[in-house]
Amino acid sequence: MNIVCVSHLRWHFVFQRPQHLLSRAAKTGVVLYVEEPIFGEGPARMEVTRDATGVLVGVPHLPATLSADEHHAWQQRLLVDAIERHIPGEFVAWFYTPMALPFTHGLDAAAVVYDCMDELSGFAGAPPALQRLEAELFRKSHVVFTGGHTLYEAKRASHANVHAFPSSVDVAHFARARRTAREPADQSAIPSPRIGFYGVIDERMDYELLAGVAAARPQWHLVMIGPTAKVDPAALPRAANLHYLGGKTYAELPDYIAGWDVAMLPFARNEATRYISPTKTPEYLAAGKPVVSTSIRDVVRPYGQQGLARIADTVEDFVTAIEAALAEDPVERQRAADAFLTHMSWDGTWLQMRQLVEQAIAKRKPRSASHARNAS
């Protein structure tokens, strides 16, 4: 199955849901992943490179002087040309953003898939047209996936063929953290106990909580790994025991987690986090770490309810939860976590998604054949 994916996320920003799924799709078909354009000088062009996963990453370069309609026209022209050059035959149009609709309306796809991984309208700077275009994308899609159960509950009435696929995990990759003795150079000098987080550091973080925990327990060291986005790095809370180590590759993460005593999810409770299903929750568990999180619904269900994560929202409660995690006997927790994770894998998620897409294609083909016979 060949895929043409249009996304609002840079392929090389952080390794997350699209990368997990489409790198697996690239093992059996051609995958073209088209990012948002880069505006600058020079002629319009599509730069296409092959990632180590086998995915073809397309980056449109457009003159900044063009109007919005001209931008869309050029994006469509460049996209069609890239498809003709790189995609052999039939393909599935795979959307991560409804904002791609203005330049994809002419694509002759075998099926249209909307992998709705987030409620994008709740994020800072969301375009005014987003909700209108998402409603149109629901009408055009043949199958819709959601990035979590809470998001599924919000979207299931919008389409007749919606399926929840919450964040999964590559257990073997993160289980390396239980065995490795390698200590990354920029973390090695940080004293223990270490309370760690990795992910994009943006408007979804509860910065008051971070500052409060750091102040309440100066002997603990909070390690924050990840790039910043849509926040001023200079405005982040600072303390001697609060360490920002920047972005790391997916391959490096187990080495960092191995040196933590507790893994945390210090998310704010706001519109940007209302529907999220953090990929890092099962990854932390696979790494063998206790998890402390704020009350993100898709963490509370199932992880909090099954005793796989401690839930706390205030500074006092978060500190108490971390103290309990530091004091616990890890054997029983790890046994329960491993049993839970037995049923989770990105391989399994991709297999189920692929089957649903193939079913959608199969349902369309009899109608297409019928139309062709009637036309003749």
What is the per-residue pLDDT across 35-61, written as a single tens digit (0 to 9) for each?
Answer: 999 998 888 999 999 999 999 999 999
* Region 171-341: CATH code: 3.40.50.2000
| Measured CA distances, 150 to 23, 198, 301 (Å) | 26, 22, 9
* Joined tokens for residue 159: 């389409």
Q: Where are the beta strands (DSSP E) in 11-142?
A: 31-34, 38-40, 45-50, 56-63, 92-95, 111-116
Average pLDDT, the chain: 93
Closest by CA to 96, choosing from 150, 204, 18, is: 18
Q: Let me know: does 1 contact 27? Beta carbons within 8 Å.
A: no
Give the integer Cα–Cα distance in Å for 350 and 346: 6
Q: What is the pLDDT of residue 180?
A: 82
Over residues 203-216, the mean pLDDT reads 96
Give the integer Cα–Cα distance in Å for 213 and 314: 9
* Joined tokens for residue 185: 């150079």
pTM to 2 decimal places: 0.90
* Joined tokens for residue 208: 């008051």
Q: To 5 degrees, how large is the angle CA 117–CA 122–CA 123?
A: 85
* Residues sharing a CB contact under 8 Å with residue 46, sequence separation 6 or more, in sequence order: 34, 58, 59, 60, 61, 78, 79, 81, 82
Q: Where are the beta strands (DSSP E) in the chain?
A: 3-6, 31-34, 38-40, 45-50, 56-63, 92-95, 111-116, 143-146, 162-164, 194-198, 221-225, 242-246, 262-265, 291-293, 310-311
Place of tokens 């065995």: 179
Sign of the Cα pseudo-torsion (79, 85, 90, 96, in order): negative
Q: Which of 133-147, 194-208, 311-325, 356-370 has the lowest mean pLDDT?
A: 356-370
Q: Let me know: does 247 contact 233? Beta carbons within 8 Å.
A: no
Q: Is pLDDT of 27 > 90? A: yes
In this structure, whether the domain defined by 3-168+346-375 belongs to CATH 3.30.9.10 is answered with no
* Joined tokens for residue 184: 């990354």
Q: Which of 101-105, 254-258, 314-318 has the lowest mean pLDDT?
A: 101-105
Q: Is pLDDT of 254 > 90? A: yes
Q: What is the pLDDT of residue 261?
A: 97
Place of tokens 């507790």: 262
| Measured CA distances, 109 to 15, 86, 185, 235, 330 (Å) | 27, 15, 48, 45, 50
What is the per-residue pLDDT across 120-148, written as a single tens digit (0 to 9) for each?
Answer: 877 777 788 888 999 999 999 999 999 99
Give the integer Cα–Cα distance in Å for 224 and 307: 24
Q: Is pLDDT of 370 > 80? A: no
Give the integer Cα–Cα distance in Å for 161 and 155: 10
Q: What is the pLDDT of residue 163?
A: 97
Check for a shared fold between 3-168+346-375 and 171-341.
Answer: yes
Confidence of residue 373 (pLDDT cuts 50, 70, 90): very low
* Residues sharing a CB contact under 8 Å with residue 189, sequence separation 6 or more, in sequence order: none
Give the integer Cα–Cα distance in Å for 118 and 97: 10
The full set of domain ranges for the chain reads: 3-168+346-375, 171-341
Q: What is the pLDDT of residue 308?
A: 96
